[in-house]
Every structure is written in C-alpha cells, then in structure tokens.
Amino acid sequence: MNRIGLTMGDPAGIGPEVICKALKDMPPAERAAILVIGDPVFMARASDLSSAGLCFVEPGAAVKDGAIPLLPVEAPNRDSILPGRLSADAGEAGCRCVKKAVELALAGEIDVICTASLNKTAIRMAGYALNGHAGLLSHYTGVSKSYAVLACPQLAVIHVSTHVSVAKAAELCRTALILDTIRAAHRHVLTTGVARPRIAVAALNPHCGEGGLYGNEDQEQVEPAVRAACAEGMTVGGPIPGDVVFEQAIDGKYDIVVAQFHDQGHIPAKLIGRHETVNITAGLPVLRTSVDHGTAFDIAWQGVARPDNMKAAIAMARRMRPVSTPAV
C-alpha cells in the first residue's frame, strides 16, 4: 500500500476539515499508511469540529486503534489565522507543509503527495511569486515545467496550457510543447498501471480548422507533434475535434486526452466527474494528487464541507505507482 503524505492546505480554509472527515471513514489499515503533514492545533480543531474523534501521533510512534501519524509543521502566528480570512501567515503555513512533503517524497519516505487546497492570493501575500501548488511543486523539485491532469473514473485530461488567456493559449499551441505534453501524458498513464497508454490529442480549432477555414494550427503544429510521438513508439491519435474527442475517451477508445487549453479540458472533466474529479500534477520527479476545489472560505470551519473530493484524491494516490523509465 502506498505511503501517502497528506498536506493540510491553507488552515483558514476547508482543508483540515475535509481531511479529518475523509480519515474518519477510512479503515484503520488505510489510516496507518497516511502521514498527515500540518499544524497539530488546526488538525485537532478540525477533528473536533467534524466529530471525527481522531487521534494523531508523532511519526514512528506505535500506531494502534486507528491513530494517524502526524508530522507537525507549525503555522506561524496561529492566532492571526482566522476562518475564511486571507492572510500571509495562512499562506506560509500551507507552503511549509508542501515543502516538507516534497522533501519526504524525494527522500523516499513517502510514495505519493496528496494535497488539500491552497489559496493563490495567500501564497503571494506570504511572499511566494508562484502559481499555487503547481508553482510550489515545480520550485521545490527543480522542475521547469509541469502539467495539469484532471482525472475521474470516466476521463483523464492533460493540458498543453492552463492559466493563460485564450489568445495566449493559441500562441502556445506549438509542436514542441504539444509533443512534451504527449510525453507527459504517456508517462502519467503508466503510473496508473496501464501498460500501453492510448492518447488522444484534441484539435485547437473547430473541425480541426476545416482545411484552414478556421485556422491552420492543427495542420501546422498539432499534426507534426502527433507524428513525432508515434515515431517515438507511443500510441497517439489526433488532432481530433474537441466536440468528438472526449466522447471517444469516455467510450474507452483512449486513456487520456491532450487538451490544448484550460477550459477545453476542465469543462468536460469537471462536468463528467463532478466530486470525483482529481487534480494531478504530471512531469514532476514525485507523484502528486490533489482535491479539485479551492479553499472555500465562504464555508470554512462551519462543519459543512464535504470530503468526497478528498476521498477521491486519496484513492487516486493509492492507485499510482512510480515509473522509473519513460517506456514506450
């Protein structure tokens, strides 16, 4: 069973609560494979709030009666961190947990990182000029480029670009970046236990550009990337029109879809998967899954947050396995 490092997230948000609710429903054997990384005070408060009745123990202590190992990463200025409020201290607390999780994963002490949500504004208030978890993970692992994967039981999607304008996404639809994304897709699917990944590449333009009528990017940029990936031994189809490709993947023809931009991939994945859609970061030297929701400050520390998505993120973390070589 994978050893999972479960990070607290922003302590002003719903992270501690959904973690405790997810752990409450978990069998003792599965709890024993979880290492919570977070502030012990906030985690104890969340356990009380959710009536989880959890017992946290220091790593290395005897784990019995369903107790859960917790690696203490103390939040700075706890009293300044208030429910549902942006703060630099809350942002710093969440970032410290991620840093510790990466250190443990790189050292081989945990197999997969599973993260509760951070707030991008709080991270920047804490002095990190980085784009949320993806930026933090890339920074702490020394990787220049990572890839956003959304996965649910019916569909997996990886993105050539994410948090950029649609105009910028069209500029980024270039052969080299698409090919790198296909390679990341192939490697990611291998980590889920599929021996021969089948990859679909979505077209950028309607009807693949309709022979140039709606743009030439699919012929000039996407097709060469698909040909190059096939030449490397990968099983890749495309470009396939966006209004067709996701249905084909859901029907089982492909294991993952390469989407060209944020909404092209996010909308179908979230619509189909709903609370089961998990955020995964591909292209890192460590494995990482995450909830696919934000800090939900509007309902934080009210006892009403649902743990469904956290349970799905943990389940995906259990399923993933490291891949030592980029086999094709």
Burial of 181: CB neighbours in 10 Å, binned 0-12, 13-18, 19+: buried
- Residue pair 74/42 in contact by the 8 Å Cβ criterion: no
Extract the tokens encoding 247.
């249905």
Single pTM value for the model: 0.92
Percent of the chain residues past pLDDT 70, beyond the cut: 97
322: alpha, beta or left, given left = phi > 0 and alpha = psi -120 to 50? beta
How many distinct structural domains can be found in the chain? 2
Q: What is the pLDDT of residues 271-290, one digit of tens each?
A: 998 889 999 999 999 999 99
HSE, CB side, 13 Å, CA atoms: give it for residue 238.
42
Q: What is the pLDDT of residues 146-168, one digit of tens each?
A: 999 999 999 999 999 998 999 99
Total Cβ atoms within 10 A of residue 175? 17
One-letter amino acid of 69: P
User: 204 pLDDT band (50/70/90 cuts)?
Assistant: very high
Let me know whether 114 and 190 are in one domain: no
For residue 36, the enclosing domain spans: 1-146+284-328
Structural domain contains residue 23: yes
What pLDDT sits at residue 327?
45
Residue 225: CATH number of its domain? 3.40.718.10
Reference 113, options 256, 8, 265; nearest CA is: 8
Is the per-residue pLDDT at 4 higher than 50? yes
Q: What is the chain's length?
A: 328
Q: Which residue has the tokens 């931009």?
A: 261
211: alpha, beta or left, given left = phi > 0 and alpha = psi -120 to 50? left
CA 177 to chain centre: 20
Which stretches of 87-189 are assigned E, i.e. beta strand? 112-115, 147-152, 155-159
Structural domain contains residue 288: yes
Let me know whether 59 and 94 are in one domain: yes
Is the per-residue pLDDT at 103 higher than 70? yes
